[in-house]
Structure formats: structure tokens, C-alpha cells
Amino acid sequence: MKIEQKTMFIASSNADKIREFKEILFAHGYTVKSLLDYPEYLQPEENGSTFEENAVIKAQHFSRSFNCECIADDSGLEIEALNNEPGIYSARYLGRNTPYEEKNQIILNRMKNHNNRRCCYVCAIALCNPEKEAKVFTGICDGLIAENAAGSNGFGYDPIFYYPPLRKTMAQMSEEEKNKISHRALAIQKMKESF
């Protein structure tokens, strides 16, 4: 199946993630298609040991399936005091179907006795063309695990990810603020600079 030029295929069915990509990529003149537009296509198994490896696995799979350029990302939260958990297992951490409100509270409970609250969001984006080797762009946003969850914007671990320069959690930020500093925005900017 061919996709018209200036369309970026996002190898994801995560509506929140796709929305973030759209908001950033639309500003650069891209139309975005995703697995939500093609629900019959299944994700390949993410059996890499790093964010970068998992992103490449997905991007290569769908680039070949659609015979077009494709981007795929793998992202997650790393908490220094918890041996960088949840890491590449962020989406599956404590069970894929466990609500993030519950996951966040469990993390807050585990962090109660830790003075080191350093953490980072990591996003690796693989850009894949069927005829070329995949390029990978990684964005990292450093922060702290908040004392309490706060904010209703964003998704996932955003309510407990405190960003000191703005003195608020990711979930307290506006979309405009988040799209300037987020791990995904930084990785996308690196990708755009490579074009």
C-alpha cells in the first residue's frame, strides 16, 4: 500500500501518543497516519533491550509493510533510585491493563524513603525508509519524581514527573509548554534537523 508524499506514518495505536506527534508534525506540514487508520495491522513483538532497538523493530516492520517512510518510537520513564525502572517496560509496568493512576501511586509509595528523586523521560524515534538503514533520534527530559501526583493534562506518568525549570509536573503543563521540552519533542526536533 502506498502512502502519499508528505504523510508520516506513525507505527502506534496509542491515541495519546499519536495526538502528541500530530500536534508537533502538523506544524511542519505533515499529514499523519497511524495504526488507528489501519487497525488490521498488528504490532511486531518488541523484544529489544533498549528504547532504540524497540523503535527500530517497529519502524522497519511497518516501513516494509506499507513500502513508505515510517517513524516509530519507544519511550518510557527511568527512575534512578529504582534501578532505572520502569524503563523499556514502562507501558507494561505492573501490568499493561493497570490504570496509570494506580501505577503512579505505587511508584510514589516506593519512593517515600528515597532522597534521590532524579528521573528522566526517554524517547527514541526510528525513521525508516524501505531502501535505507534506519536512523534513530533520542530525546531525554530530566526531572524529579514529585512528592504527590498533580495535574490532569498529559497521560501516563506525567502527573508524577516534576520538571524543575517550570516548577510543575508534566501533567500541569499546557500542550505548548510540553511540546517545547518533552522527550518526544526533543527527539522529533533532532529527526527534523536531519532532513
CATH architecture of 7-193: Alpha-Beta Complex (3.90)
Backbone angles phi, psi at 63, to 5 degrees: -65, -40
Going by C-beta distance under 8 Å and a sequence separation of 6 or more, which residues neighbour residue 130? 63, 64, 67, 68
> What's the whole-model pTM score?
0.85
Partnered with residue 135 across adjacent β-strands are 127
For the chain, domain boundaries: 7-193
pLDDT in tens for each of the 195 residues of the chain? 444 457 789 998 888 778 877 877 787 778 888 999 998 887 888 889 999 999 999 999 998 888 877 889 999 999 999 999 999 999 889 998 999 999 999 999 999 999 999 999 999 999 988 888 889 999 999 999 999 999 999 889 999 999 999 999 999 999 899 989 999 889 988 987 876
Quote the CA–CA distance of 71 and 127 in Å, as a whole number: 5
Q: Tell me which residue of 10, 34, 5, 3 sits closest to 188, measured CA to CA.
A: 10
CA pair distance 157, 144, nearest whole angstrom = 12
Active site residues: 74
pLDDT computed for residue 195 by the predictor: 64
